[in-house]
Amino acid sequence: MISFVLVADVDSTLIKDEVIELLADAAGTRAEVAQITARAMAGDIDFAESLRERVATLRGLPESVISETIRRVRPSNGLAELVDAVHRRQGRIGAVSGGFSQVLDVLAPQYGIDMWRANSLSIRDGHLLGEVTGTIVDARVKAQTLRQWSADLGLPSAQVIAMGDGANDLLMMDEAGLSIAYCAKPRVREHAQVSIDVPDLREVIPYLPQTP
Ligand SMILES: [Mg+2]
């Protein structure tokens, strides 16, 4: 019997980094990309458009930047403890990301995350094409994914927690019984029911439902 699901954003939530910025280091475009990310997360520009713009700067990079980037990703403080606490309470943790499946497919199992969804970088002949394939995981798709996972697990919204830091997490927060802003942008802090401003995921544990 699964008692709840915690659906969390990845970049600047479950991990300390923005993966697109780590990838952009290799392209020498980090400053430009970081500036666009900040505007997207504050909700000042459209996420999907901003993602295309940022990914375009990665065009031509060798595929090996992905494994180099994976090695540089730093999990947020307390991630292992939070995942343990969720599982001890018969919960599940899902990660829904505007970042990339090539990174999350490696990291999510390492972190003990139960399910995940992200964008897919297009790669041909060992090089990044500077594009993403398939549906872009934006605010709307994050909310849809949360609904899908809740339905698959047979959980009503009261047993769903959404957590994130950016403007593209706002819609999924509206679908959840509890919304948590984690070291979030002002708009997100104001919107969420709970705001955690200490950079430590163990702060989330008291808000998890108790074991039935
Ligand atoms: Mg984020």
Q: Break the chain into its structural domains and give their ranges.
A: 4-207
Is residue 209 within 8 Å of 196, Cβ to Cβ?
no
User: Across 3-154, where does the E strand assignment appear?
Assistant: 4-8, 91-100, 115-124, 127-133
Tens-digit pLDDT profile for residues 2-14:
999 999 999 999 9
Quote the percentage of the chain above a pLDDT of 90: 93
Tens-digit pLDDT profile for residues 154-187:
999 999 999 999 999 999 999 999 999 999 999 9
Q: How far is the CA of 212 from the centre of ligand 1 (A)?
A: 31
d(CA 117, CA 23): 19
Mean pLDDT taken over the chain: 96
Angle of CA points 164, 162, 131, to nearest 5°: 55
Q: How far is the CA of 165 from the centre of ligand 1 (A)?
A: 5
Q: Which fold has domain 4-207?
A: Rossmann fold (3.40.50)
Is the pLDDT at 212 greater than 70? The verdict is no
Half-sphere exposure of 24 (CA within 13 A, CB side): 21
Q: How far is the CA of 17 from the centre of ligand 1 (A)?
A: 9
pLDDT of residue 110: 98
Quote the percentage of the chain above a pLDDT of 70: 100
Q: How far is the CA of 110 from the centre of ligand 1 (A)?
A: 19
Tens-digit pLDDT profile for residues 29-43:
999 999 999 999 888
105 is catalytic: no
d(CA 90, CA 56): 41
d(CA 10, CA 35): 19
Which residues line ion ligand 1, judged by CB < 5 Å? 9, 11-12, 165-166
d(CA 120, CA 137): 9
Q: How far is the CA of 185 from the centre of ligand 1 (A)?
A: 9
Catalytic pick among 11, 114, 165, 169: 11
Catalytic pick among 9, 114, 165, 169: 9
pLDDT of residue 146: 98
Q: How far is the CA of 159 from the centre of ligand 1 (A)?
A: 22
- How far from chain centre, in Å, is Cα 176? 16
Is the pLDDT at 210 greater than 90? The verdict is no
d(CA 70, CA 103): 6
Q: How far is the CA of 166 from the centre of ligand 1 (A)?
A: 5
Model confidence band, residue 97 (pLDDT cutoffs 50, 70, 90): very high
Exposed / middle / buried, residue 179 (Cβ in 10 Å: 0-12, 13-18, 19+): buried
9 is catalytic: yes
